[in-house]
Amino acid sequence: MSKRDVHDVIVAAFANPTKLAIITVLSKHEELTVTQLSKYLGVSRPNLYLTVKEMVKDGLLQKPRVRVRHNFLEKFYRLNKQAIREIDPAEQQKRLYSSTPENQTAVIKSMLESMSLFFKLHAEEVTRADETTLNRIAKAVRANQVMIHYSLVSADTYSEALGKIREIIKKTGEKSGEKGELNNTLIILGIPTIGKS
């Protein structure tokens, strides 16, 4: 998949709540079957099969790993991490900015829905954590590796913060080709007042 293609595909996927939910769940779980994905997403398996097939064709998911179990074929899907590594955040933003208002709204809605799912998955993981995992979480908090921040700010402060965050994102994008396992999550979400004038 070329860089040009991956950005078109990712912007389209971000506007589709089901595709973005699949990306979200598979970023948390190494591989899943369509039946397992269906349980997380609340989407029927027939509809999910079509979406997964399209995502494999687009290169967002790898071709499935097939396992025969009790005369039944199981297909396990996983993210194509190489395609994800090829995403240039600046180009991704540029494509989003140049898309239609309807597409921009769809992306925002889709992102918020997938973030809800993402946080739910993490909450379930913390709830089921054993003592060793809880100690690892506490250690990460003490090492200042966990950041949770919520603020209501003025329009000027919001604009200033966005500028600084964009600088960080640019630096992150420059390092997007770095080697190593993609297993840390950085979510930056800023929402301006939309419903009020």
Per-residue pLDDT tens for 83-134?
877 777 778 888 888 888 998 888 888 888 888 888 888 888 889 999 999 9
* Residue 80 pLDDT level (bands cut at 50, 70, 90): very high
Residue for token pair 């506007």: 15
Q: What is the pLDDT of residues 153-185, one digit of tens each?
A: 898 998 998 889 888 877 776 665 556 666 677
Q: What is the mean pLDDT of the chain?
A: 85
Give the mean pLDDT of 45-69: 93
DSSP state letter for 99:
S
Q: What CATH number is attached to the domain comprising 51?
A: 1.10.10.10
Determine whether 1 is exposed, middle or buried from the number of CB atoms within 10 Å of its CB (0-12, 13-18, 19+): middle
* Residue 22 pLDDT level (bands cut at 50, 70, 90): very high
Residue 186 is assigned to a structural domain of this protein: no
pLDDT of residue 7: 80
Query: Considering the chain, what percentage of its residues have pLDDT values greater than 70?
Result: 90
Residue 79 is assigned to a structural domain of this protein: yes
Residue 92 is assigned to a structural domain of this protein: yes
| Of residues 172 and 78, more confidently modeled | 78
Residue 22 is assigned to a structural domain of this protein: yes
Residue 11 is assigned to a structural domain of this protein: yes
| Of residues 87 and 67, more confidently modeled | 67
Q: Are 117 and 25 in contact (CB under 8 A)?
A: yes
pLDDT of residue 34: 95
pLDDT of residue 162: 87
Residue 23 is assigned to a structural domain of this protein: yes
* Residue 25 pLDDT level (bands cut at 50, 70, 90): very high
Q: Residues near 99 by Cβ (< 8 Å), separated by ≥ 6? A: 11, 107
- Residue 40: domain span: 3-174
Residue 159 is assigned to a structural domain of this protein: yes
Report the length, in residues, of the chain: 197
* Residue 30 pLDDT level (bands cut at 50, 70, 90): confident
Give the mean pLDDT of 40-52: 92
